[in-house]
Amino acid sequence: MSHAASTPSIPTVSSRAKSLTGRAVVPGDKSISHRALIMGALAVGETTITGLLMGEDVLRTAAVMAALGAKVEESKGPDGKPLWRVWGRGIGGLTEPADILDMGNSGTGARLIAGLVSAYPFTTFMTGDASLRRRPMDRIIKPLSQTGARFTCRAGGRLPMAVTGTPLPMPLSYDSPIASAQVKSAVLLAGLHAPGLTTVTEPVASRDHTERMFRYFGVDVRSETVKIPAGRGQHGSSRYKVEVLGQPELSGRPINVPADPSSAAFLVVSALLVPGSHLILPNIGINPLRTGLFDTLQEMGADITYTNRREEAGEPVADLEVKYSALKGINVPAERAPSMIDEYPILAVAAACADGVTRMDGLGELKVKESDRLAAMANGLKACGVAADAVGESLIVRGGGPKGNAPVLIPVELDHRIAMSFLVLGMVGERPIAVDDASAINTSFPDFVGLMNGLGANIESRELS
């Protein structure tokens, strides 16, 4: 057996799959689920949420909203499916938590809630698991400090962290050097509590779930792409700009969370790679700032069709039909990265099975995710017999599928997307591919293994031989 690392726990092993067929319900969108709970806590009255992702990351945010004074309850709706009710406190109405807020593995939850509590006149202590404690928080600390909040944390801006909010939140105009929905959202959530306009600009538009959710709740939000005049000897450029008018009065709203396109990505790529596959995936969010992977796969030759297009709580939604396809390698431009930053691991798997070379540029953000995903994918693919190289902020993958017959064990470093990506790669080729710890998958896709096996996959927990 070849392997990248060893571990005493029982691996999760993926072997060649049969054709994947049927209708599969994907969990709710993680990004929208976080924001639904937060906005419910900031609105007056009851917000009802259906389709909420029941993964560990989102459940941490639900617990944090309760710790900050909102009433949060899980019940059953008329259809027997989970229904979440949040009774909010209004803008400025949250209260000091009695204990440390444990964000688990959730970078989104940690950064958004840090922005939220920075606008309250109390101190909040935050921590997370080993993976989250390695991730930098200075990208939100810098702008939020300008509002009057104070931050105390470990070297490099890392958790654990104490956030001492300001009694007089100030509106902020922040020009972000990176396109990051988490940074933008942290500043905008603080800005909801400040009088006047809070403005964020970024190089290109990152995910706009916060802006859409704000509008749905009645917040005055303005967004546009603005031209920057050319300087001496320089060409003009553009920036994406968002303005929010603070201190609105929000009322509770019903929210139906669409299925997560980042989670659907693993089923989509599985169906494209396993011969004879044909899947229907209902209610998938198709926000244009989230569909970069689907666009890229279609350029590679994927048979992906959108049907029953509609809108839910301000978000565009459709059903996806996916059929097995022969893919070809392409160049994926850097400017597409913000619309698919979480999907590069599974795109790398698709590239590994395509005909020819795929080059993915502009992947610097992958180095500061749950793991260094750029290195993790390059090293893992090599261990599976795929030619792959991480060069600077690019990943270059030469297709042809995994090579060899011996099982291979991949260390996932508490990263759910790395784990699911290599379990998908194990569905094609002769060599079983195992991940050392599949528990991290629960952060975003709790029943991933059961759902995939029900469609025709062959994934099990067992010792490698």
Q: Where are the beta strands (DSSP E) in 60-166?
A: 71-76, 82-89, 101-102, 123-127, 150-154, 158-164
Contact 390, 348 (CB under 8 A): no
Residue 426, C-beta contacts closer than 8 angstroms, at least 6 positions apart: 13, 14, 15, 16, 432, 433, 434, 459
User: What is the 3-state secondary structure of 33-56?
Assistant: HHHHHHHHHHCEEEEEEECCCCCH
Contact 65, 72 (CB under 8 A): yes
- Please indicate whether residue 361 is annotated as part of the active site: no
What is the residue type of 76?
Answer: K
Distance in angstroms (rounded) separating the CA atoms of residues 345 and 440: 15
DSSP SS3 for 265:
helix
Query: Token pair 């993926």 is at which residue?
Result: 14
Per annotation, catalytic residue among 29, 129, 342, 361 = 342
Distance in angstroms (rounded) separating the CA atoms of residues 238 and 423: 40
Other C-beta atoms closer than 10 Å to the C-beta of 225 total 11
Query: Token pair 């927990």 is at which residue?
Result: 461
Structure tokens at 322: 């996916």
Distance in angstroms (rounded) separating the CA atoms of residues 245 and 265: 35
Catalytic residues, by residue number, are 342
